[in-house]
Amino acid sequence: MLKKLLVGLQVPQTQTDNDRPRVGIGMDASVTPIPDKPGTSLAQTTDFFYPLVDDPYMQGRIACANVLSDLYAMGVVHCHNMLMLLAVSKEMTDAERDVVIPLMMRGFQDTAQEAGCLVTGGQTVLNPWVTIGGVASSVCSQEDIIMPEGALPGDVLLLTKALGTQVAVNAHQWMEEEGDRWNKIKEITTKEEVKAAYRATTLSMARLNLIGAKLMHKYQARAATDVTGFGILGHAKNLAENQIKAVNFTIHTLPIITNMVKIAKGVGNMFQLLQGFSAETSGGLLMAISKEGAEAFIKEIKELEDCDAWIIGSVDAGERTAIIVEGPTIIEV
């Protein structure tokens, strides 16, 4: 539905005087050539959402990491400016506002500084609900950008963060509310398991994809996206459709946060986790890369961040689509 709505923003493809196309609708960030600066483009993205964790500071960090992730998915490792978009709930008391909002703003700014940039402005409004997000911008040369279109048959698919974030944050909320949905899953999980998954999820969502983007350049990734609202299969399909070569993406392995599979199954099919459509927030980079490059990437990201990455699929000649094999291998993380 969202992809259909985006069609209304499409314009005919044009080439600039330095023969560089615009990139925008449907991919992670817009890339617009700067007419009077040959070889230079503006890469820009925006994102915002409702709070999904209890800690305001961590929510600010997650929101900032989520915005920057779209630049990193394009291989853009330097963000030159950030704006923050913040809606303060009209339902908050003065005391709640004076504690929560500064913590969210500090988390956002701290993460921007970790990425090497500053928040220099934005917009703050009153709203029925709290929302937080931002705009990230970078002026790039051609070699700064990895266009999401170069996957080749024989490449592998690599993923840098585990799946299941939506399941984890929802299970934590159900645990606190102790309502009908918690009653459905409390026989198959424990509060300790839910809390552990929630902590792991919070840290994962707040982690920048910056190192992953740098390693994409080092090991010559050929196309990438970040896994967010469309789920792993939704984003894989979107990326496959954008490839120059007619290729298929086949996903055979799903790294998932520990205990999230059984919890997702415990509430029916509402998340579509194993089908690949469970939404993720500030998810990992999904990239097409050579097998040798993937193996070196996995080794180095473990050394630099003590975080795992996984080969989850293959790139084959095909029709620019993506599938998850029947009975994929599940890795609990």
Domain contains 311: yes
101 shares a domain with 186:
no
> 216 φ, ψ to 5°?
-60, -40
52 is a domain residue: yes
Find how far residue 76's CA is from the centre of its chain: 14
Mean pLDDT estimate for the chain: 93
Backbone angles phi, psi at 314, to 5 degrees: -130, 160
pLDDT surpassing 80 at residue 10: no
Query: Does the pLDDT value for residue 11 go beyond 60?
Result: no
Residue 292 lies in a domain: yes
How far, in Å, CA of 167 to CA of 178, rounded? 16
Taking the C-alpha atoms of residue 164 and residue 44, their distance in angstroms, rounded to an integer, is 27
d(CA 143, CA 43): 13
Judgement on whether residues 108 and 64 belong to the same structural domain of the protein: yes
pLDDT reported for residue 269: 87
Residues 172 and 270 in one domain: yes
Decide which of 144, 178, 206 is a domain's last residue: 144
Instruction: Examine the domain organization and report whether 59 and 202 are in the same domain.
Output: no
Spatial separation of the C-alpha atoms in residues 24 and 32, rounded to whole Å: 8
**CA 23 to CA 1: how far, in whole Å?**
21
Which residue has 């048959």 as its token pair?
A: 153
Q: What is the CATH number of the domain that holds 126?
A: 3.30.1330.10
- Confidence at residue 328, expressed as pLDDT on a 0 to 100 scale: 98
Beta 285-289 vs 156-159: how paired, if at all?
A: antiparallel
**pLDDT score for 29:** 86
Q: Please tell me the predicted confidence (pLDDT) of residue 331.
A: 98
Q: Is 213 found in the same domain as 89?
A: no
Give me the number of domains the chain comprises: 2
Of 116, 144, 172, the one marking the end of a domain is: 144
Is the residue at 251 inside a domain?
A: yes
What is the model's pLDDT at position 28?
74
Contact 67, 22 (CB under 8 A): no
Chain centroid to CA 98: how far? 30
Please give the residue that has the higher pLDDT: either 57 or 5. Answer: 57
**In terms of domains, do 62 and 198 share one?**
no
159: which residues sit within 8 A by CB, 6+ positions away?
A: 227, 232, 255, 284, 285, 286, 309, 310, 312
pLDDT in tens, 261-305: 999 999 998 999 999 999 999 999 999 999 999 999 999 999 999
The amino acid sitting at 317 is: A
Same-domain pairing of 161 and 303: yes
The continuous run of DSSP H or E covering 254 comes out as strand 247-256
Alpha-carbon separation of residue 262 from 200, 228, 268, 271, 283 (angstroms): 17, 21, 10, 12, 20
The two structure tokens encoding residue 317: 């000649």
Q: What is the pLDDT of residues 168-178, one digit of tens each?
A: 999 999 999 99
Q: In this structure, are residues 166 and 229 in contact, taking their beta carbons and an 8 Å threshold? A: no
The whole-number pLDDT of residue 18 equals 45
3, part of any domain: no
| Whether the model pTM is above 0.85 | yes
Does a structural domain hold residue 151?
no
The yes-or-no verdict on residue 5 having pLDDT over 90 is no
Note the pLDDT tens digit of each residue in 87-111: 999 999 999 999 999 999 999 999 9
Question: Within 13 Å, how many C-alpha atoms sit on residue 226's CB side?
Answer: 29
Please indicate, yes or no, whether residues 244 and 140 belong to a single structural domain of this protein: no
180-186 mean pLDDT? 94
Domain closes at, from 124, 144, 164: 144
**CATH code assigned at 195:** 3.90.650.10
Confidence of residue 8 (pLDDT cuts 50, 70, 90): low
Dihedral of CA atoms 302, 303, 304, 310 in degrees, nearest 10, equals -20
Same domain? For 322 and 272 the reply is: yes
What's the pLDDT tens digit per position in 12-50?
555 444 444 445 445 678 899 998 888 899 999 999 999
How confident is the model over 307-327, as pLDDT tens digits? 999 999 999 999 999 999 999
Q: How far apart are the first and last CA of the chain?
A: 31
Domain containing 94: what range? 9-144
DSSP 322: E
Q: Are residues 251 and 310 in the same domain?
A: yes
CB 223 within 8 A of CB 242: yes
| β 247-256/310-317 pair status | antiparallel
Identify the CA nearest to 42 among candidates 139, 180, 158: 139
Whether 45 and 191 map to the same domain: the answer is no
Q: Flag whether pLDDT at 233 surpasses 60.
A: yes
Give the amino acid at 291: K
E-assigned strands of 90-180?
Answer: 119-127, 131-141, 156-159
Same domain, 192 and 228: yes
